[in-house]
């Protein structure tokens, strides 16, 4: 017989898991030191991280030790969040603070904290209080369980929010389902929502919950219609076991490709599916799900793909763009993005005949950040569109101001990413700006990178034609960087070819054959009425070469670096 005093010495103690939330690493360390023999410890260094962790592993935790005073999302807000999700009904929260004034304590209790500990505290006291809380709570949980098994945390069956069976139940049932359907080919689908954590951050947890509920409903619909079974794996992850048939694959593809089937869908937050076609063998349900999830992982950061079927060993990849994407979003709202203009000159006269708008991030802490540091990430995830639309708008507004002031203006080009072509109606957005600022389309050029042509060439060609026929100038950017493609020049309706300087360096060796390629390209362009501009011109050797090749325009440090718009305005005024 084990006495109360020995209660925590039983093997049960290892089951307990605590989440320590504190912005101070030292405070977390101290608590960890005190508790680590009796508990498995998880840590969050702020309110936001805590909320994310709670979303993911609320079910697994036994207690939360929550610092109330934290920068950003503070402890009260975490409590509010937990209470809103009824988490405080099942998971005890011990609030900790140096500030032990009565209203503070009151507020914490009102929000659902079960205990309050003032700092500094004695080691023994805190250990006893944490352990007592946990054991009392787990007893209470058993009582609750008898009343309402569905909502029980210790022995979970169904997710409260979505009404879908929880992981363990799901896995158990999959096993018997497989045994009962031995003659049907089945597939395990891992389903989630792209960038869902960011969704919560952008649109709020409440909307996020709605999206999850809607998502679960769609999956349950498929399961009901075709005979299948849905499980909730935590966070925004679901599993779906269904027959492997073309009809179901089609439905899944449609869900992934057309977000508008969801009321709470937002661009960039599309449904994603990884599929494992089950080979009968000895694998566990968990392994099947793992494989489906690995397929899902493969397309995680690829906004052009919504469904992926598991093939061989698909390796897991890392990458932490999460924080930066949140920071960029903050920067957008804080108006930290602006554009510089780099002049484009006529090679024979040196006159400034145009400019390219290039984004700059004036970060509140880091100062000026160049595109190389954030554009690739934004392009990969597709979130570049947000920034691009901001820049296009700023450029148009600025041109209008210049024209109103009677200043001279030259065509300005803006960069258009592959993601923009996929996610926006680029022509429509620009038309809106032309209307808003009463501008002539001839003043705006769009630069689309040649690299985009590697993807969905048809879609690109269609958009370029549309832009061109609407009256915008269309430039093919970075031509010759990496692989260059003569077809693109032949097929596309473009006004200007922007040659990458690397392309011209080919011939720096002076080999005739090498020179002949850019020479040929420039000649071909001229024949088709396409202007050529060399980018990244840094020295007189390059200028000489370009003159020999009969290139029309130049852009590069040798002439001008990118500059703030107001400097560019001065430059063209003085030239005038």
Is 88 strand, coil or helix? helix
State yes or no: residue 388 binds ligand C2E (CB under 6 A).
yes
CB count in 10 Å sphere of residue 569: 21
Q: Does 477 bind Mg ion (CB under 5 A)?
A: yes
Contact 516, 480 (CB under 8 A): no
Q: Report if residue 447 touches Mg ion, rule: CB under 5 A.
A: yes
Cβ distance to ligand C2E smaller for residue 88 or 417: 417
Nearer to ligand C2E, 50 or 554 (CB): 554
Give exposure, 533-563, as e/b (b: 16+ Cβ within 10 Å): bbbbbeeeebbebbeebebbbbbbebbbebb
The single residue among 556, 565, 569, 572 that binds ligand C2E, judged by CB under 6 A, is 556
Piece in contact with ligand C2E (CB under 6 A), picked from 42-50, 269-277, 531-539, 567-575:
531-539
The site string for Mg ion over 518-547 (x = CB under 5 A, - otherwise) reads: -----------------x------------
CB of residue 76 to ligand C2E, shortest distance in Å: 40
CA-based nearest residue to 82, from 24, 153, 164: 153
Selection from 91, 90, 92, 93 nearest residue 148 by Cα? 90
Cα–Cα distance between 169 and 188 in angstroms, integer? 15
Residue 379 binds Mg ion (CB under 5 A): no
Residues of this chain, 169-198, that bind ligand C2E according to CB under 6 A: none
401-440 residues near ligand C2E, rule: CB under 6 A: 415, 417
CA-to-CA separations, 413 to 7, 357, 548, in angstroms, rounded: 73, 6, 26
Residue nearest to Mg ion (CB): 447
Q: Are 359 and 387 in contact (CB under 8 A)?
A: yes
The residue (of 231 and 536) whose beta carbon lies closer to ligand C2E is 536
Please report how close the Cβ of residue 444 comes to ligand C2E at its closest, in angstroms.
Answer: 13
Q: Which does 371 bind (CB under 5 to 8 A by kind): Mg ion, ligand C2E, none?
A: ligand C2E
Query: Given candidates 103, 367, 372, 406, which one binds ligand C2E under the rule CB under 6 A?
Result: 372
Q: Hey, what's the torsion of the CAs at 46, 43, 233, 173, to 10 degrees?
A: -150
The count of other CB atoms within 10 Å of the CB of residue 152 is: 17
**450 part of the interface to ligand C2E, by CB under 6 A:** no
Q: What angle do helix axes 196-203 and 205-226 make, rounded to 10 degrees?
A: 140
Cis bond upstream, residue 120 (ω within 30): yes
Q: Which of residues 406-425 bind Mg ion (CB under 5 A)?
A: 415
Draw the binding track, 271-290, toward ligand C2E (x: CB under 6 A; -: no contact): --------------------
Stretch touching ligand C2E by CB under 6 A, among 83-91, 144-152, 423-431, 554-562: 554-562
Where in 5-155 does DSSP place strands (E)? Answer: 17-21, 40-44, 63-67, 93-97, 115-118
Q: How far apart are CA 187 and CA 280, in angstroms?
A: 11
Please pick, from the candidates 478, 530, 537, 562, the single residue that binds Mg ion as defined by CB under 5 A: 478
- Chain residues binding Mg ion by CB under 5 A are 415, 447, 477-478, 535
- Chain residues binding ligand C2E by CB under 6 A are 342, 358-359, 370-372, 375, 384, 388, 391, 415, 417, 447, 477-478, 535-538, 555-557, 562
């Amino acid at each position: 017989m084990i006495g109360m005093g020995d209660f925590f010495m039983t093997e049960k103690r290892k089951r307990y898991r605590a989440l320590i939330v504190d912005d101070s690493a030292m405070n977390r360390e101290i608590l960890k030191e005190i508790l680590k023999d009796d508990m498995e410890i998880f840590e969050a260094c702020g309110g936001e991280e805590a909320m994310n962790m709670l979303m993911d592993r609320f079910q697994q935790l036994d207690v939360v030790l929550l610092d109330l005073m934290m920068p950003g999302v503070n402890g009260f807000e975490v409590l509010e969040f937990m209470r809103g999700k009824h988490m405080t009904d099942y998971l005890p929260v011990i609030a900790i603070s140096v500030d032990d004034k009565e209203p503070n304590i009151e507020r914490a209790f009102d929000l659902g904290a079960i205990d309050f500990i003032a700092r500094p505290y004695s080691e023994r006291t805190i250990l006893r209080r944490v352990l007592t809380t946990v054991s009392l709570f787990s007893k209470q949980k058993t009582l609750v369980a008898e009343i309402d098994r569905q909502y029980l945390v210790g022995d979970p069956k169904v997710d409260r929010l979505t009404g879908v069976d929880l992981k363990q139940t799901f896995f158990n049932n999959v096993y018997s389902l497989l045994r009962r359907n031995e003659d049907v080919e089945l597939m395990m689908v891992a389903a989630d929502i792209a960038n869902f954590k960011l969704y919560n951050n952008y649109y709020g947890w409440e909307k996020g919950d709605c999206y999850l509920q809607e998502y679960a409903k769609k999956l349950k619909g498929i399961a009901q219609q075709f005979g299948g079974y849905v499980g909730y794996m935590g966070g925004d992850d679901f599993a779906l076991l269904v027959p492997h048939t073309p009809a179901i694959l089609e439905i899944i593809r449609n869900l992934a490709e057309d977000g508008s089937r969801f009321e709470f869908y937002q661009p960039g937050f599309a449904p994603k599916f990884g599929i494992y076609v089950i080979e009968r063998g000895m694998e566990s349900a968990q392994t099947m799900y793992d494989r489906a999830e690995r397929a899902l992982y493969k397309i995680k950061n690829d906004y052009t793909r919504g469904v992926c079927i598991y093939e061989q060993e698909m390796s897991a990849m890392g990458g932490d763009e999460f924080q930066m994407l949140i920071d960029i979003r903050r920067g957008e709202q804080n108006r930290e993005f602006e554009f510089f203009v780099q002049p484009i000159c006529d090679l024979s006269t040196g006159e400034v005949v145009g400019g390219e708008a290039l984004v700059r991030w004036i970060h509140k802490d880091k100062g000026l950040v160049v595109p190389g540091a954030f554009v690739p990430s934004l392009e990969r995830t597709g979130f570049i569109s947000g920034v691009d639309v901001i820049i296009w708008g700023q450029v148009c507004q600025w041109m209008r101001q210049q024209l109103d002031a009677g200043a001279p203006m030259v065509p300005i080009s803006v960069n258009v990413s592959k993601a923009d072509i996929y996610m926006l109606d680029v022509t429509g957005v620009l038309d809106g700006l032309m209307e808003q600022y009463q501008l002539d389309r001839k003043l705006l050029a769009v630069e689309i990178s040649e690299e985009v042509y590697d993807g969905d060439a048809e879609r690109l060609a269609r958009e370029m034609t549309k832009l061109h026929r609407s009256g915008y100038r269309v430039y093919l950017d970075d031509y010759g960087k990496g692989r260059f493609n003569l077809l693109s020049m032949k097929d596309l309706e473009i006004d200007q070819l922007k040659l990458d300087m690397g392309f011209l360096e080919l011939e720096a060796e002076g080999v005739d054959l090498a020179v002949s390629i850019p020479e040929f390209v420039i000649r071909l362009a001229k024949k088709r009425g396409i202007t050529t501009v060399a980018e990244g011109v840094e020295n007189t050797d390059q200028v000489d070469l370009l003159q020999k090749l009969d290139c029309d325009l130049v852009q590069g440090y040798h002439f001008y670096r990118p500059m703030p718009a107001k400097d560019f305005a001065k430059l063209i005024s003085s030239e005038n």
